[in-house]
Amino acid sequence: MSAQCPATQLPSSPHLACHPSFPFPNKTSLQLFVRQPLFFPFVKLFLSLFLALIAAYALSCFLTIAVNPEVAFWNEANSRRQTEIAQIRKNQSTKPVIFFTGGSSTAFSIDPKIIEDATGHPTINLGLPVSCGARYLLHQALREAQSGDIIIVGTEPDLLTFPDQVAGPSKLAFALEACRGNFTESAGGTTFGESVTIPQYLTLTRPGPDYLITLAGRYLTGKGYRYKEADIKYRGLIQTPVRNKSIMPGGSHEVTALHPEGRELLETFAAAAKQKGVRLAYSMPWSYTATEHLTHNRANRRKILAEIHTIIPVLEDGYSGAMDNIDNFADGARHLSDKGSATRSKALVAALKSLLHP
């Protein structure tokens, strides 16, 4: 006589198959269900969906990173800068390095050769597109710096006066860090105690319709990115031969103070730099300005500079971020020409010398 299942037996017991509440009267019935044609389609569907999600994510990464001409250009600029930093550390290991960081206005306006010749310190321009976000622009510079080095912050005033300009990470910053294998650094890394979240991973790799249309247009027309590798100059300076004489000058700027989030950003960065033994200073990049607004804008910019000076030293070049001579600009209202970058770099020399030798 076969043994009967106890009435209190739990479904997890060896007598599972004969438990009254279990839908199968015995193990044979359970085995027959598992072998039923209806069971396998569910597993197949799940696996298909899972693999499709992985393939879609991989395709998104490919489109936003691997074949993005903007990412390719700035990644090449970063690679060259890394090589030059390594050479400096090897050949000039006893000399503090001057790093300039900021948006593309910094990339196009600071000539490391002029700064080096005037100060005797090796200099690297780490400027990247402003779309990388303020936290990343600052973090990527502090990451390269060592104790005793100097970082000149040249972030655009908008990044410090408008709160929505401070947030991150951005798609470009994420893509550039992906090229280095440091996916989480685009949020600000250890400098700001931020890392990329799982939802951000999914968002930052999503190309979007506008990007796909732009990418398709670039490949179909053969134009690619507007800047070429030949535009990457000595130790990180970016220069383009393009001259746009139809640039519209900026109007009146009424903002005279940092936004609380902008102030917090600088204070956090200053604290991280101090802990690492890195000196800081701020230099406001130039913006093409209508002559009739020049005096007014410079006065308002000086109020912002005065507030920044309460956090980190300010290098005043006499222009306070406003310039009305179009010959100093290349293809945009904040991208300087070779003449403009030389003029701005020379204008900073005296203030830099005072910072280095107080």
Q: Is the pLDDT of residue 178 over 70?
A: yes
3-state class (DSSP) for residue 288: strand
User: Average pLDDT of the chain?
Assistant: 86
Q: Which of 74-78, 87-91, 325-329, 353-357 has the lowest mean pLDDT?
A: 353-357
Q: What is the pLDDT of residue 163?
A: 64
Q: What is the pLDDT of residue 320?
A: 96
CA-nearest of 310, 334, 279 to 98 is: 279
What confidence tens digit (pLDDT) does each residue in 123-151 have?
999 999 999 999 999 999 999 999 999 99
Q: Is the pLDDT of residue 11 over 50?
A: no
State the helix-helix crossing angle for 260-276 and 134-144, rounded to 10 degrees.
Answer: 10
Question: C-alpha dihedral over 161, 165, 169, 173, to 10 degrees?
Answer: -100
Residue predicted with more confidence, 110 or 181: 110
Burial of 310 (0-12, 13-18, 19+ CB in 10 A): exposed
* Structural contact between residues 151 and 356, judged by C-beta atoms closer than 8 angstroms: no
CA-nearest of 158, 79, 163, 150 to 115 is: 150
Distance CA 358, CA 356 (A): 6
Q: Is the pLDDT of residue 274 over 90?
A: yes
What confidence tens digit (pLDDT) does each residue in 294-307 have?
999 999 999 999 99
What is the pLDDT averaged over residues 77-88? 97
Q: Is the pLDDT of residue 39 over 80?
A: no
pLDDT bracket for residue 168 (50, 70, 90): low
Structure-token pair, residue 8: 């209190």
CATH fold of 67-356:
Rossmann fold (3.40.50)
Give the start-to-end residue ranges of the domains of the chain: 67-356
Please name the amino acid found at residue 235: R
Q: What is the pLDDT of residue 296?
A: 96
Q: Rounded to 5, what percent of the chain is helix, strand, coil?
A: 55, 10, 35
3-state class (DSSP) for residue 153: strand
β-pair type (329-332, 335-336)? antiparallel
What's the pTM? 0.83
